[in-house]
Amino acid sequence: MITVVIEREDLVPVLTDGEALYRYELTAEMAGGYARAGAGVGENGFPLVEELLFDDLSTGTHELKTSLLDLETGETVSQRVDVVIDSASTETWSSSGLRLTPSGTVRATGSVTIIWDVYPPVGSGEIRAAYAVLDHDLNAIREGWMDLSRQTDGIASFSSAFSLGGLERGVYVVNTAALGGESEVMASSSSSIRLLSSWDLWGDDADETVTLVRPIASPREISELQNAGNPGERQAVMSEFWLRRDPNPSTRENEYLDTYRRRLDYIERSFTSGVTRGILTDMGVAYAKMGEPDMVENNPFQVEGYPFQIWTYFNPRLTLLFIDRFGYGLYEFDGDWQDVNRAFSLGEAWYVY
């Protein structure tokens, strides 16, 4: 079973009787097999989860190709990934591939969860598993024992997690090993992740932090950060900055900060144009302030006039028009930024000019 998650930003809606409808066709191919799904979904149907079933797959690694066709624009987005089909025997040791969450290319914040299944021969007794994260010089920079979540005849399931905090950008290898009763390695597996630099939201580089937080910062806060004399003072300023926005200071997590990091990730992916960073574009600034629009009207092809997008927010009510006047995909805001700032301040109880 292949599970595909479709987000609202993956599709462009058409208005039907005043309601937004997203129409799509999803196809998947693997090892000669083919699966398809398609439908229309409204605003409240996201994230949309489609499950596609493949039968009679042989063990080993297969390339899976998924394609999402937007029936409104005709645009297709495709992705290729390798899928490992496990094999198990009652007489020999084997294991699954590692399941890392998140996987692939990851921002160097938060943590990564490892899930691994080991298939021992029947009657193998107690099994332990360990993991190690290796840098490009093959030095172990994270390691530890994995938790045994369940063990029955023929399968032992392990999980663990490691922090990404303090790691530099680059490719890291994740290795796991299962040890039998005499601490002998009986099965192993390996995967990798590529880390991007973490967002500098704490003032290590004052100019970079100012660039990243300017859309959501008050003039007073920007001045405090710029006037801080050393990294320690900047750290203190930004600690207060994020604490001021924390909706629940009694908990360990700062939900506002986590949300803003996700917004920066999306802005970088979606709005970067040529040498212009996403956070410096009009769309990037608006998204940093207001988050994901409730409705997006995308008009990329115009016989007369320029391509444009209309973003609509319901609470507080705000409509933004962006126009691509030069045809390079750089959409400029056609409106008054005071309206955006006013809507932003209405939604932020902490905001003080």
Tens of pLDDT, residue by residue over 117-168, are: 999 987 788 899 999 999 999 999 999 999 999 888 788 999 999 999 888 8
Tokens (6 digits) for 300: 């990329």
The predicted pLDDT at position 353 comes to: 38
Q: Is residue 110 part of a domain?
A: yes
Q: Is the pLDDT of residue 298 over 50?
A: yes
Q: Which of 65, 85, 105 finishes a domain?
A: 85
Q: Give a yes or no: residue 205 inside a domain.
A: no
The radius of gyration of the chain from alpha carbons, rounded to an integer in Å, stands at 24
Q: What is the pLDDT of residues 84-128, one digit of tens each?
A: 777 666 678 888 888 898 888 888 888 899 999 999 987 788 899
Can you give the pLDDT at residue 198?
A: 87
10 located within any domain: yes
215-223 own/partner pairs: CB under 8 Å, 24+ apart:
215/279, 215/284, 215/285, 215/288, 215/289, 216/260, 216/288, 216/289, 216/344, 216/348, 217/241, 218/351, 218/352, 218/353, 219/353, 220/352, 220/353
Residue 140 falls within a domain, yes or no?
A: yes
- Taking residues 198-212, what's their average pLDDT? 94
d(CA 164, CA 100): 13
Amino acid identity, position 251 = T
| Domain contains 38 | yes
More confident call, 242 vs 107: 242
Boundary-marking domain end, from 196, 228, 246: 196
DSSP conformation letters of 252-319: S--HHHHHHHHHHHHHHHHH-BTTB-GGGSHHHHHHHHH-S-SEEEEE---SSS--EEEEEEETTEEE
What's the mean pLDDT in 338-351?
A: 81
Would you state the pLDDT for residue 245?
Answer: 93
Residue 14: pLDDT above 60?
yes
Q: Does 110 share its domain with 80? A: no
Q: pLDDT per residue over 177-204, tens digit each?
A: 999 877 889 999 999 999 988 899 999 9
For residues 335 and 316, the model is more confident at 335
Is the pLDDT reported for residue 80 higher than 80?
Answer: yes
Q: Share the mean pLDDT of the chain.
A: 89
Q: Which domain holds residue 183?
A: 94-196
Residue 70 has pLDDT above 80, yes or no: yes
Note whether residue 246 is domain-resident: no
CATH of residue 102: 2.60.40.3880
E strands in 88-169: 94-95, 99-101, 104-107, 111-119, 128-134, 140-145, 147-152, 155-163
Per-residue pLDDT band for 352 (boundaries 50, 70, 90) equals very low
Q: Please give the tally of structural domains in the chain.
A: 3
